[in-house]
Structure 1
Amino acid sequence: MKKLKTNRKFNKKAFNPNAVNFSIFKFTFTRKAQLSNIREFVLERLLKLPDINEWLLRSHDADEVFSNARLADFFNNHFDGRKLQDRLVYYNKRVCLDRDRVRLHGQYYNNIYLGKRIFGPSRKQVFTHTIVGGMERRFEILDNQVNHIPFTHEMFDKFSEKCRNPRIKCRDDTRVVLKYPNIGLLDDFIHANRINAPLLFNEFILTQAPLENTIEDFWRMIWQEEVRYIFMLISRKNSNRCARYWPKKVSDSISFHGLTIYTEEVSDFDDTLFRVTKIRIVGPKNKELFVEHWQGDLNNSDNVQTPLRLLRLARNCTRPTVIHDHLGVSRAATLVAIELCIVNLLKGPSYKYPVQRAVHYLRSFRPFSVETPIQYIFIHRVLQQFIRGLIGEPKGFEDDYKRWLDERSHRPFVEDPEDSIPAYRLLSPKVDPDLLPLVRRRERPEDRREIHACVGELPLPIDRTDANTLMLLPSKYPKGKRY
């Protein structure tokens, strides 16, 4: 069989993921692999969808919305299967080499094994080098104040009552500016940032879960941006974490500023994890917008397949996809970081640490995205799920991850009796030990530092009646001698 050239154009009819009979190729990397197989493998993973819901196809511009020209142009003119394989092999190689040493025998402090005697010449510490340990180190480097990206947040400070957390600020130059309705009486602020990187095939909007006083702003944004998919990645049962912003029952409606939002159908069978609500918005001049609202608690770190399924939906749509969790910087940001990594591997160039670079790049749009090491490691695991069928996975990665999870299970997590998944396996547990040090710490500075922000800081007192009060040091020692 003659090999296809890398720059050969394929039949545009075969580009439609619903018209092609894909076959799944499972083979490890080999220079003899047919480039047509590589192309079909990528298309199957990247584009294959069930039939697009007829609900969304009712709109008059459905042909334009669900035929992504940027995708078609890339696969017709720029896709190179051989270079893709080289990049994937290089990625796996770097994952294997980027290890960090981890002590094998319990926890130590200044060479003292807690509960045991001091180490002497007869007993030495034993270390192992693990892949997951290297990922943790990469996240520490990424989260260090040296790598902080300065930004302004004047509108966030002005409308603080519309923000859930005073520490999660909204960047001014990437925020979504509300322009509907254009009457000049309403403010234009919503805690949402647009991710429109040239690298991506589509746009995303990351936002916090709506508050009771921001529901109308949320729907103003949906109408203005002509959004077709809303991904809600947290539970709908806790109203403290997310207000009920869509009509609850079929045929119910809510109205804001000339927009009437109807719930037309609720389905629990379109997806095993998500509840899909079909929403119709009627605006000025009886113009209609059809939206699908996907709601599911995407909190299980073992579920590495669902993010790929959601990203396929968003990737084939030319309109921005709105994604939110509680604060818009954990699970939602993780989903967009995965897409940045996938597209970077497809298009190039090759980086030593593509996940670290993708998260750092994402933080230039949505500050503080990807909060904890388990979310950072989850990005790697979903990425491995995407490429495993083509080149396999790094040797020893799964064993390292299981060992890391076992160690994580001994940390002080607060279990939720209603949750069937152990807290240490959750992407965003109710009480996260990785975030506890930030609870009573001062706000993060808005400039880079050469040392970590926590180095040399005194613990804050429980009662801080006046933040501007200066700490007065005594001028004498306790015994009366002067300094």
Structure 2
Amino acid sequence: MCYGKRKENARRRREMMMHKSETETNSNVTLSKTIKSKDTDKLWQRSVKHDSLYHSDILIPKSRVINELIKNSRMKSEEEDEDTISLAEESSIGDLVDEWIDVMLSKGIKGLTDEFIALYFSTKPSPNDYNIFLANQNSGRNRYRNVVCLDNSRVKLNNHPSGNDYIHANYVGTPFSERRFICTQAPLDSTIYDFWFMIIQEKVKYIIMLTNYTEKGCIKSTPYFPSEINKIDNYNGIMVKCLTCERRIDFECEIWERSLMIQSPDMKSTIVTHFHWTDWPDHDIPNSYSCPLHLLEMVRMSSSPIVLHCSAGIGRTGCLVLIELVLEKLSCKQTCSSMNFMLAELRKQRAKLIQNNIQYLYVHRALLHCFTLAGRVKKMDEVRKFVKDYEQFIFDESNAKKNFSNHSFQVL
């Protein structure tokens, strides 16, 4: 949470910040710096059009709702403790961004890769941490036997008709909310009802789906909603109707937005917005750095848990969670330079978030893209070198995967 020392001082600073934010929101925002690289002009034009998330001089989100969330979190903190650190004593957001970039550059691609590998051993949960998952191994509720669901943060289905409150889903907290996200696996045939039961119970307004139903010949998710407008599907008494469906042309990636009406057995109904990102490969990274930023902006105003899922609910899902965690920490003026520490903390809530070093590096690259748009990048030569090293590393990894795949095919 964001902290303040005294209510009066915090109130005045909040009012000043809100006034400044609203003034800047109504003005034209320009980029203070540009990067002269091979993909500069087109990428900048696309990104400036799509990524309206931050002001150029500070990284406070434009949305009034975000400012309200920040204000409310501060007010809650001040009510709990009036003698905490004052806002005036906190580091500026710009300084925190500079610190984040400096740490990233000092580690480089190799250092970031090494620290991610080290996390495998330091964040591996004990079997005592997922007893309920083990008890449900034969219940048909786990998609993967090696992707565990932690007991301490699992979502419990209250008053479920079966008497079993288990679903493979965990709450994941950020500075804005202790239950900011629900990270879950893609529904199975046997868990579609449970999934929608959870959506109704948690009063969810946004779902982000990061997987296709089938990828590389493997089933990744069961269809769990009607894809055509006005079609209604019945899942054991829970009715789901597709009200609208459109391809979001303002995204560089292929993302579909649907409005779904959910009606529970007691005839109460709610509207859920469903985003389906269809061209992010499993165990891999997307071709855009702006899409995660834009997509997170679309759901950030939610006051209820945001449901995220890919297939296992850890890889692609983890990338979005870590990106959002950094941005919220910056908005609350909290340090965020220790990415490995933050990921370790996230894995205490949802095991194995972010599956490989490629995805971990991608999170850094997407955030660097965000900070570049905000005009916060200063060490241009070092940043160019990092970007070049990143692109070379991704290229080499991609070729290695292709060679391995071809070799495996020849062996078969």
Q: Same fold (TM over 0.5)?
A: yes
**Match of 2:375, as an amino acid?**
L
1:375 to 359, 362, 365: 359
Shift of 1:387: 1.4
Which residue number corresponds to residue 71 of structure 1?
Answer: 70
1:242 to 180, 203, 221: 221
2:26 to 13, 16, 21: 21
Distance 1:22 1:375, change over 3 A: farther
Shift of 1:288: 1.8
- Asked whether the equivalents of residues 259 and 284 of structure 1 are also in contact (C-alpha less than 8 Å), the reply is yes
Alignment of 1:28-427 (within 5 A): 40-41=55-56, 46-48=61-63, 69-73=68-72, 83-98=92-107, 131-143=108-120, 145-150=121-126, 152-160=129-137, 161-179=140-158, 182=159, 185-198=162-175, 200=177, 203-237=180-214, 240-269=219-248, 271-272=250-251, 273-297=254-278, 298-299=280-281, 300-350=285-335, 353-388=337-372, 389-392=374-377, 395=382, 396-413=385-402
Deviation digits for residues 294-334 of structure 1 (CA, Å, limit 9, x no counterpart)? 11123443311011112112221101110100100100111
SS at 2:328 equivalent: helix
- Asked whether the equivalents of residues 61 and 67 of structure 2 are also in contact (C-alpha less than 8 Å), the reply is no
**Match of 2:392, as an amino acid?**
R
Q: Which range moves more in the overlay, 19-28 or 274-283?
A: 19-28
Counterparts of 1:224 and 1:245, CA distance in 2: 17
Counterparts of 2:245 and 2:122, CA distance in 1: 47
- Asked whether the equivalents of residues 208 and 325 of structure 1 are also in contact (C-alpha less than 8 Å), the reply is yes
Question: Bigger relative contact order, structure 1 or 2, given CA contacts below 8 A and separation 6+?
Answer: 2
- Asked whether the equivalents of residues 14 and 71 of structure 2 are also in contact (C-alpha less than 8 Å), the reply is no
Shift of 1:136: 0.7
- Asked whether the equivalents of residues 274 and 296 of structure 1 are also in contact (C-alpha less than 8 Å), the reply is yes
Shift of 1:147: 4.2
Shift of 1:157: 1.5
**Match of 1:375, as an amino acid?**
Q
Shift of 1:393: 6.2
**Match of 2:92, as an amino acid?**
K
Counterparts of 1:42 and 1:218, CA distance in 2: 42
**Match of 2:144, as an amino acid?**
N
Shift of 1:185: 3.5
Counterparts of 1:43 and 1:246, CA distance in 2: 40
**Match of 1:255, as an amino acid?**
N
Q: Which has the larger radius of gyration?
A: 1
Q: TM-score, normalised by structure 2?
A: 0.75
Shift of 1:45: 6.6
**Match of 1:190, as an amino acid?**
I
Greater fraction helix: 2
Which residue number corresponds to residue 15 of structure 2?
Answer: 9
- Asked whether the equivalents of residues 175 and 328 of structure 2 are also in contact (C-alpha less than 8 Å), the reply is no
- Asked whether the equivalents of residues 200 and 343 of structure 1 are also in contact (C-alpha less than 8 Å), the reply is no
Deviation digits for residues 149-181 of structure 1 (CA, Å, limit 9, x no counterpart)? 4452122112222111111110011111011xx
Counterparts of 2:354 and 2:166, CA distance in 1: 23
Counterparts of 2:62 and 2:179, CA distance in 1: 13
Q: Which range moves more in the overlay, 359-368 or 300-309?
A: 300-309
Counterparts of 2:123 and 2:262, CA distance in 1: 42
SS at 1:286 equivalent: coil
**Match of 2:231, as an amino acid?**
D
Distance 1:354 1:46, change over 3 A: farther
Counterparts of 2:359 and 2:401, CA distance in 1: 18
SS at 2:343 equivalent: helix
Counterparts of 1:280 and 1:93, CA distance in 2: 46
Shift of 1:277: 1.3
Q: Which range moves more in the overlay, 274-283 or 297-306?
A: 297-306
- Asked whether the equivalents of residues 202 and 317 of structure 1 are also in contact (C-alpha less than 8 Å), the reply is no
SS at 1:263 equivalent: strand
Alignment of 1:457-468 (within 5 A): none
Q: TM-score, normalised by structure 1?
A: 0.65
Shift of 1:405: 2.5
**Match of 2:143, as an amino acid?**
R
Shift of 1:246: 0.3
- Asked whether the equivalents of residues 239 and 263 of structure 2 are also in contact (C-alpha less than 8 Å), the reply is yes
Quote the sequence identity (%). 23
Shift of 1:350: 3.1
- Asked whether the equivalents of residues 156 and 169 of structure 1 are also in contact (C-alpha less than 8 Å), the reply is yes
Shift of 1:377: 0.2
The number of aligned residues is 353
Shift of 1:133: 1.2
- Asked whether the equivalents of residues 260 and 282 of structure 1 are also in contact (C-alpha less than 8 Å), the reply is yes
Counterparts of 1:256 and 1:199, CA distance in 2: 33
SS at 1:276 equivalent: strand
Distance 1:85 1:198, change over 3 A: closer
Deviation digits for residues 220-253 of structure 1 (CA, Å, limit 9, x no counterpart)? 0111111111101112455711100001322221
Counterparts of 1:361 and 1:256, CA distance in 2: 36
Q: Which range moves more in the overlay, 252-261 or 71-80?
A: 71-80
Distance 1:201 1:156, change over 3 A: closer
